[in-house]
Amino acid sequence: MSLTRFSVSLDENILTKFDAKIRADNCPTRSKAIGDLIRNSLVQDEWRSGKRVAGAIVLVYDHHKHDIGGKLTDIQHEYLKLIVSTQHIHLDHDNCLEIIAVRGNPGQIDGLAKRLKAVKGLKHVSVAAATTGHNL
């Protein structure tokens, strides 16, 4: 991979805030921070364009809720072509964290996330958008 230098002109106030943010994030350089921002933007474009993507659906729920585990498993069985792996973590006596690694069409992944969100008793559901890496 070859690197190309380019310059960016920014309002001084924005640059001061940006520098403070990258210091707080322990980012080593402005170049690294700007590259990360560009890559994140490209990943979001992949998700909007319908290209094959990867990601994770994160769930938190009280496993004591009536048959919630069974309902979540039943839905996942309908989406076997998207699901790469699942990880179930016991957070405490009541709460579980489930991470579902997915790969495929973003619309179908979103459909799976919406089906899971509809299950009564879930405390949290989020989708972490990622990339397969082929388009970056």
Q: Output the DSSP codes for 53-103.
A: EEEEEEEEEETTSTTHHHHHHHHHHTTTTTEEEEEEEE-SSSEEEEEEEEE
Strand, helix or coil at 122? strand
pLDDT in tens, 112-130: 999 999 999 999 999 999 9
Give me the long-range contacts of 117-121 (CB less than 8 A, separation at least 24).
Answer: 119/61, 119/68, 119/71, 119/72, 119/75, 120/65, 120/68, 121/61, 121/62, 121/65, 121/66, 121/68
- What pTM was computed for the model? 0.85
| pLDDT at residue 107 in the model | 95
Q: What is the pLDDT of residues 31-53, one digit of tens each?
A: 999 999 999 999 999 999 988 99
Q: Which amino acid is at 43?
A: V
Report the alpha-carbon distance of residue 112 to residue 91 in Å, rounded: 23
Mean pLDDT, the chain, integer: 94
Residue-level pLDDT at 22: 95
